[in-house]
Amino acid sequence: MNHTRGWRTATILMTLLGLCQVWWAGGIGDRTSVSAAILAPLSLLSALALSRVNALETRLPVVVVTGAQLCLTVLALTIGLPGQVRHDIDARAGIVLAVAMGILVAIEVDRRERARSAWAGPAPYAR
């Protein structure tokens, strides 16, 4: 298995995002979140899959779930979710934005590290 710093960072941040979503879905913060209740198990399952295998099939759900959380947060901050008023930026939104962007950056760093290490040797058809 190819363990890179980006892969480890993405796994840790995805687990952190999933645990925060569980916290917010339980209503332990200032308000409950239905989107967090839906995305929490998906985040934790994709973090578990990513921790086991670093492959396209495990990175894709991480990117999709992270993108969904990021889009929902930006939508809530700009015009509001359907049937709700616009939210002001608070600690929850800051955490989601920072962790989600960190996950996407870590996945990209992992991709670059793996691509760099794949071509570390001589060209396959060189004489």
Could you state, in order of their start, the residue ranges of all structural domains in the chain? Answer: 3-118
DSSP 50-83: HHH--SHHHHHHHHHHHHHHHHHHHHHHHT-STT
Structure pTM? 0.84
Residue range 7-57, pLDDT digits in tens? 999 999 999 999 999 988 887 655 667 888 899 999 999 999 999 988 889
Please answer whether residues 107 and 62 qualify as being in contact, where contact means their C-beta atoms are separated by less than 8 angstroms. Answer: yes
Q: Which amino acid is at 103?
A: I
In a 13 Å sphere around the CA of 119, the CA atoms on its Cβ side amount to 8
Distance from C-alpha of 47 to C-alpha of 14, rounded to nearest angstrom: 5
Tokens of 89: 């930026």
